[in-house]
Amino acid sequence: MPEWYFRFSLGQRLLHGLLMTSFLGLATTGLPLHFNQSPWAVWISHTMGGFGVMGFFHRVFAVLLTTCFTIHVVHLLYRLFVKRELHILWGPDSLVPQPRDAVEMLQHIRYFLGLGAQPRFGRFTYWEKFDYFAVFWGMLIIGASGYVLWFHTFFSRFVPGWVFNITNLIHGEEALLAVGFIFTIHFFNSHLRPEKFPMDLVIFTGRVRDDELEHERPDEWERLRAEGRLGTIKADAPPRWLKNFGRIVGTTAVAIGLTLFALIMYAVFGYGS
């Protein structure tokens, strides 16, 4: 019988769910405005009930994502300053990029080219750290510029109007980067690559199997064993309902994401060229 270990807590999983939902909502209600010259953009905006409705829901999802972001940051601060968990700032439990990430990235690329073995990854790989900070940075930039645009008359008391031209541009381009990245790179890295296809359910179940942990993150496996911490994260096998829930939600999210990505590709390359 395989053993199961926790990788993500329930709170982290719920937060990812909130992030995923609001992100897809923001993308669906925002992309039509960005690609307004495309027939599908016109169709979506009108089907949704018009530009006013689309803007309303864009703001609803924005508030959701802001909530998600705030919870995460407040929790981080709590861990840092109240629980004194300074190990989240540096070391194997930290998401902060460290020299070993650069090394592992180069080793990984060498492996891609057939010139070496797979690196011995730890708890967080370099692409996972990139994912995390890309989303973190994205939420800050897109969120801040979004709120400036939302409350433009308020902000116009402090900044000249041309700032809105810049925030408008940043909001759109950065969002395009975020959407494009999540719907292709993140989907591939975490779910669609042959080892994980069609989906890595760990973000829904929170549990990872022993052999999976051992082979994918040998360094983390060794560390947990050496420190005798495997017992503290031991989990029961994921219940069937949870796995099915994950499959349904995950497949839906990936389907929406890939559809939106296809529409972007159509707007950028397939239209008017």
Partner 1 sequence: MPSLEWGAPTWPGAMAVAAFLVLVGGVVLVRAQGKGPADFAMPKAETSPGQSAKGKAAKAETPKNEDCLACHADKDLERGGKRGGSLFVDAQVLDGSRHAGLDCASCHTTATAPHDEKLPRVDCAGCHADKAEVLKTGVHGSPAAARAGDRATTCANCHGTHDVRDPKTLGTERCAACHQAQVGLYRESIHGKARARGDTEAATCTSCHGPAHTLQVKTDPQAPTYHLNLPRTCATCHGDPEIARRHNIEVGDVYKLYMDSIHGRAITRSGLLVAANCSDCHGAHDIKAKDQPTSRVFRTNVPATCGTCHAGVLREYRQSVHGQAVAAGSTIAPICIDCHSAHEIRRVEAEGWKLEIVRECGTCHKESLRTYRDTFHGKVTALGFTRVARCSDCHGAHDIYPTRDVRSTVNVANRVTTCAKCHPASNENFAKYDPHAEPENVDRSPLLHYTWKFMVWLLVGTFSFFGVHTVLWGVRSLVGRNGGRHAPPPAEGSDQEGQDA
2 is an interface residue for partner 1 by CB under 8 A? yes
Nearer to partner 1, 80 or 106 (CB): 106
Instruction: Tell me which of 82, 240, 272, 273 binds partner 1, using CB under 8 A.
Output: 240
Of residues 64-103, those binding partner 1 (CB under 8 A): none
The dihedrals phi and psi of 236, each to the nearest 5 degrees, come to -75, 165
Looking at 233, 243, 245, 271, which residue binds partner 1 (CB under 8 A)?
243
Do 139 and 63 contact (CB within 8 A), yes or no?
no
CA atoms within 13 A on the CB side of 65: 26
Rounded Cα–Cα distance for residues 270 and 273 (Å): 6
Closest to partner 1 by CB, 47 or 70? 47
For partner 1, which residue of 114, 228, 231, 272 counts as binding (CB under 8 A)? 114
Task: Decide: residue 85, CB within 10 A, 0-12 exposed, 13-18 middle, 19+ buried.
Answer: middle
Shortest Å distance, C-beta 262 to partner 1 = 16
CA distances to 140, 156, 157, 167, 169 from 162, in Å: 21, 10, 13, 9, 11
CA torsion 84-85-86-92 (nearest 10°) is 170
Residues that bind partner 1 (CB under 8 A): 2, 32-34, 36-37, 41-42, 45-46, 50-52, 108-109, 111-114, 116-118, 127, 134, 149, 152-154, 156-162, 164-166, 168-170, 173-174, 176-177, 180-181, 184-185, 188-189, 193-195, 201, 209, 211-212, 215, 237-240, 243
